[in-house]
């Protein structure tokens, strides 16, 4: 498993599906030991999600590599005792049930704190632990619609469309990791755990900075932004002879280099294109003029020319091309767990090696026996982290 800053942190992971497992996967990438607690009746729902890889869900495998798995029925007295052992000796508890679920199982925040005052308890949910909508169900697409992102994506006059990845789930996972990491720092300084509450809706709103700012200033909601920069030109997607590409001429100097590279010096002299402000005003004309040349050859041809000219540009790549891109490969952003390729760790740290492989995700309950022994009876304590400091006496 990866070594990292959280090498001495034990995460008790009750999460399922996407937002929660993504957050605990990242904690694992940063060195934490992640103990996934799954229901014995099938475990995480994503274990059933297609496509499969060697008999296991690739979805599950990708998000749960390197974790340990124990199957616990939190309504069963013996299993509850094991869970209490985990809480007592773990550092972080993460769950993404609907608000109130863990409470109804007898593990409210006061009880958890009593079991372990150093515990950090993070919840990730659709709408958060407070507010009038806290009990409502949420899916990524619901949050993208409700949170306004869908209204910003796509072209004016076209139907609204969601972003092509589950950004509300993933953003909530990222904010949860930030909450947990900063709470772990706080605990080192104070000795106290705390409660973290992250919502998908809040997280998505946090990614709308620019649009919220425009609304706050003008009182009007911004519409879909298409593929054109609102205040820089030329800065959008252009057609070539074979495939679309982005050209991003962020200032006058780049615009002049672009014109020269395309043999379009006359455009740099055109009164419509003399300043960025004018180019934004005449962006449609400019697109037509540029595409008249760009359509005469393939994107690769133009990309080589623009690269030499120092003009930022990129083809609109498929996921296959992105994965195989030399920079993505050089950064080791694609790793292997067993034979399955998956996304690596985007947080590069000089103090820790960036490993090319990961331990595969566990079968349901694969590590149960060892974990029960270690956390229930006290055996194995000597090899565990956070051994007994600040752990209150057994009360039942």
Per CB under 8 A, contacts with its own copies among 265-304 are none
Closer residue to its own copies in complex, CB, 194/262: 194
Alpha helix segments (H runs only) across 16-139: 19-29, 58-64, 77-89, 101-104, 109-115
Q: Among residues 1, 74, 105, 207, which is the contact residue for its own copies, using CB under 8 A?
A: 207
Sequence-distant (6+) residues with CB within 8 A of 323 are 334, 341
Per CB under 8 A, contacts with its own copies among 40-69 are 49-53, 58-59, 61-63
Catalytic-residue membership of 186:
no
- Catalytic-role residue among 135, 186, 210, 229: 229
Closer residue to its own copies in complex, CB, 77/132: 132
Phi-psi region of 191 (alpha: psi -120 to 50; beta: other; left: phi over 0): left
Q: How far is the C-alpha of 40 from the C-alpha of 74, rounded, in Å?
A: 10
Q: How far is the C-alpha of 331 from the C-alpha of 126, rounded, in Å?
A: 33
62 is written with which tokens?
């990708």
Least Å from the CB of residue 267 to its own copies: 21
Beta bridge partners of 68: 35
Q: How far is the C-alpha of 317 from the C-alpha of 323, rounded, in Å?
A: 10
Q: Does 343 bind its own copies (CB under 8 A)?
A: yes
Closer residue to its own copies in complex, CB, 72/196: 196
Q: Does 305 bind its own copies (CB under 8 A)?
A: no
Tell me the site size for its own copies, rule CB under 8 A: 144
Q: Does 350 bind its own copies (CB under 8 A)?
A: yes
Q: Say how many Å lie between the first and final Cα of the chain, rounded.
A: 35
Q: Among residues 34, 102, 183, 267, which is the contact residue for its own copies, using CB under 8 A?
A: 183
Per CB under 8 A, contacts with its own copies among 136-165 are 136-139, 141-143, 145-155, 158-165
Q: Do the Cβ atoms of 50 and 21 come closer than 8 Å? A: no
Q: Does 385 bind its own copies (CB under 8 A)?
A: no
Per CB under 8 A, contacts with its own copies among 101-120 are 109
Task: Please report, to the nearest 10 degrees, the dihedral formed by the alpha carbons of residues 270, 274, 279, 280 taken in order.
Answer: -150
Beta bridge partners of 137: none
Q: Mark 213-252 with x for binding to its own copies (rule: CB under 8 A) and - for no binding.
A: xxxxxxxxxx-xxxx-x-x---xxx------xxx-x-x--
Q: Any idea which residues carry the catalytic annotation?
A: 229
């Amino acid at each position: 498993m990866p070594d990292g800053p959280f090498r001495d942190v034990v995460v008790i992971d009750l999460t399922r599906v996407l937002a929660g497992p993504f957050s605990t996967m990242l904690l694992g990438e940063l060195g934490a030991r992640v103990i996934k607690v799954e229901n014995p009746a099938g475990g995480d729902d994503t274990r059933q999600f297609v496509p499969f890889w060697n008999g296991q869900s690739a979805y599950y495998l990708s998000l749960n590599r390197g974790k340990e798995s124990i199957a616990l029925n939190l309504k069963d007295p013996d299993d509850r005792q094991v869970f209490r052992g985990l809480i007592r000796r773990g550092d972080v508890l993460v769950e993404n049930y609907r608000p109130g679920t863990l409470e109804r199982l007898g593990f409210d925040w006061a009880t958890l704190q009593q079991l372990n005052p150093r515990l950090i308890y993070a919840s990730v949910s659709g709408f958060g632990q407070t507010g009038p909508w806290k009990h409502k169900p949420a899916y990524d697409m619901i949050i993208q619609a409700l949170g306004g992102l869908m209204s910003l994506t796509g072209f004016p006059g076209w139907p609204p469309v969601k972003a092509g990845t589950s950004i509300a789930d993933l953003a909530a996972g990222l904010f949860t990791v930030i909450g947990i990491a900063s709470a772990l720092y706080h605990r080192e300084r104070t000795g106290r755990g705390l409660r973290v509450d992250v919502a998908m809706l809040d997280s998505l709103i946090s990614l709308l900075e620019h649009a919220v700012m425009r609304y706050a200033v003008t009182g009007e909601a911004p519409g879909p932004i298409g593929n054109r920069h609102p205040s820089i030109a030329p800065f959008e997607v252009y057609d070539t002879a074979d495939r679309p590409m982005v050209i991003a001429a962020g200032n006058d100097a780049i615009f002049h280099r672009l014109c020269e590279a395309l043999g379009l010096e006359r455009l740099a002299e055109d009164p419509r294109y003399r300043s960025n402000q004018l180019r934004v005003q005449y962006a449609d004309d400019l697109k037509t003029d540029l595409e008249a040349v760009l359509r005469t050859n393939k994107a690769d041809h133009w990309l080589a020319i623009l690269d030499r000219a120092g003009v930022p540009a990129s083809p609109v790549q498929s996921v296959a091309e992105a994965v195989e891109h030399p920079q993505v490969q050089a950064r080791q952003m694609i790793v292997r767990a067993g034979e399955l390729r998956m996304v690596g760790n985007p947080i590069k740290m000089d103090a820790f090696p960036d490993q090319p492989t990961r331990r595969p995700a566990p079968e349901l309950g694969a590590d149960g026996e060892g974990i029960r022994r270690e956390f229930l009876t006290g055996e194995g304590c000597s090899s565990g982290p956070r051994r007994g400091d600040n752990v209150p006496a057994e009360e039942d």
